[in-house]
Amino acid sequence: MDSWIILIPTILTIIVCLWTKQIYIGMFAGIFSGCIILAGGNPLTGLDMSFNKLMGVAASGWNMKIILFAVLIGGMIKLMQVSGAVNGLIKWLTEKAKVTTPAKAQFLTWLIGVVLFFDQYTSEAVTATIGKTLSDKYGYSREKVAYLVDSTASPMCALLPLNSWGAYIIGLLATLGVTDTMGTMVKAIPVNFYCIIALAICLFVVFKNWNIGGMKAAEENYKKELAVVEEKLADEKLASPLLVVLPIVIIIASVIGALLITGKGVITNGDTSVAVFYSMVIGNVLTILLCVAFAKMNIKEACSQCLKGCGEMVPVAMLLVFAFCLSGICGELGIGAYISALTAAHLPNFIVPCLVFITAALMAFSTGSSWGTFAIVIPIVVPMAAATGIPLYLLVSAQLSGAIMGDHCSMISDSTVMASAFSGCDNVKHFRTQLPYALISAVAAVVLYIVAGLILG
């Protein structure tokens, strides 16, 4: 399709979410409207198609492994919380890192998100679990936690190629005949402007307490609830921080091992969904055993708490089902190709990197999928670089930055959904509080890509 009508699902999702403040209703509105378009305007056929497509999400092994990963990580996090291990880690970090103020607590959250760059979902889950405990102790909002989590996990994964994201992009480049794939990714790091700026703005927000737009209101509202939170913290138990650290180390090793096994010795060929799913199975089993051995829990209690934690993640799993379904419908409608065609006008070389950034941002925003954006844009930028003489690494960095920016501004992005859910923050509130910072980073990135285009183009 080549009509603006195919943009209706994305636009309607945003309007309904902001109007009703109900993410499920908004997403279903987008799914339903998209299916009506696919059904040629027949609402009854569109309604039946909507439910079929929602159920069809389970037919994708990749989707289901990511959804089950989200459920399983809830079990592990629950065990870390009820055993007192998270509080033990917070106490240890507070003493060793001399965390005594909200700014230092927020910086610690930022630092954890930066260090855990090997996998986006694991980074979001672990960083948010520690971050929201720190927020309760030092008195700042869950919206601030979600912002710090989301603005470190995705940018770090996009910056450094030594993770599943890097493996995926390197694989795409290799299939397009690019020989020095790793060299291209490494050269793209210093010109990945949006990701670098987003990480830097986080530090400015932390140390200057720079709260703008919705974040300012969120911080003010949280202060009213602070007394209740402090009363709750008085009775928390403590356990060894090893109950947090050891499972994370084993998960990292399991992800790397699974990528090597599924890739037959080549990590870039590994199956990401298999790697994160089975690493989380191993992580849950290990956490149960550690709780029995060191937290004075019996096996029945540990398993019960693990299952309880998994159950608490069912709303997240539902959100992911809706997000994957809506993303798939946007793909069927050809939104990515439509936006690409709109921005394909002949322009001078210096503007091309900026154009790639904007195009990737619009695609990721509309589809809620940075990985889907990579798959659409990378096959465009490789021949574009060859035809124009613009360095490939600059265009690769522009599409990486654009995809992350679009993800940060999209309520249907799985990373945005999980960052808010793990942080204990409403998804719509997270969207509204993060948006101003993302737009500021985007404006700065646009200027820098124009400058880079003038210098390198």
Neighbours of 154 (CB within 10 A): 27
Sign of the Cα pseudo-torsion (372, 413, 54, 63, in order): positive
Q: What is the pLDDT of residues 355-381, one digit of tens each?
A: 889 988 987 887 777 776 776 677 677
Two tokens, residue 212: 């703008």
- Give me the pLDDT at residue 317, please: 79
Q: CA 83, CA 302: separation in Å to the nearest integer?
A: 9
Q: Do the beta carbons of residue 344 and residue 448 sit within 8 Å?
A: no
DSSP string, 1-42: --SGGGGHHHHHHHHHHHHH--HHHHHHHHHHHHHHHHTTT-
- pLDDT of residue 207 exceeding 80, the answer is yes
CA distance 316 to 69: 11
pLDDT, residue 168, reads 65
Pair of tokens at residue 47: 């309604």
Question: Is 90 exceeded by the pLDDT of residue 43?
Answer: yes
Per-residue confidence (pLDDT) for residue 229, from 0 to 100 = 46
Percent of the chain with pLDDT over 90: 25
Q: What is the pLDDT of residue 435?
A: 92
**Confidence at residue 205, expressed as pLDDT on a 0 to 100 scale:** 93
pLDDT category of residue 386 using cuts at 50, 70 and 90: confident
Helices 226-233 and 120-138 sit at what angle, rounded to 10 degrees?
100
Q: How far is CA 261 from CA 69, 176, 254, 264, 328, in A?
A: 19, 24, 10, 5, 29
- What does the pLDDT look like over 314-349, one tens digit per residue? 877 787 788 778 777 877 887 656 765 665 555 677
Q: What is the pLDDT of residue 174?
A: 73
pLDDT value of position 139 = 84
Alpha-carbon gap, residue 20 to 12, rounded angstroms: 12
Mean pLDDT on 413-437: 86
Which has more pLDDT, 229 or 83? 83
- The pLDDT, as a whole number, for residue 231 is 45
pLDDT at 347: 66
pLDDT at 234: 44
- So what's the pLDDT on residue 143? 93
Give percent of the chain above pLDDT 70: 88
Band (pLDDT 50/70/90 cuts) for residue 396 is: very high
d(CA 22, CA 150): 20
Mean pLDDT of all residues belonging to the chain? 82
Contact 141, 149 (CB under 8 A): no
Give the model confidence (pLDDT) of 106-120 as tens digits. Answer: 998 999 888 877 667
- Mean predicted confidence (pLDDT) in 45-50: 94
What distance in Å separates the CA atoms of residue 239 and residue 160, rounded to the nearest whole number?
33
Per-residue pLDDT at 75: 87
Instruction: For residue range 159-172, list pLDDT tens digits in order.
Output: 887 666 776 677 66
Residue 98: C-alpha distances to residues 148, 204, 272, 449 (Å): 20, 20, 37, 39
Domain boundaries, the chain: 1-59, 60-171+213-315
Q: Is the pLDDT of residue 157 over 90?
A: no
Whether residue 97 has pLDDT greater than 80: no
Mean pLDDT of 5-32: 81
pLDDT of residue 162: 65
Is the pLDDT reported for residue 416 higher than 60?
Answer: yes
| H or E element in which residue 344 lies | none
Which residue has 């990401």 as its token pair? Answer: 272
Q: What is the pLDDT of residues 426-440, one digit of tens each?
A: 888 898 899 999 999
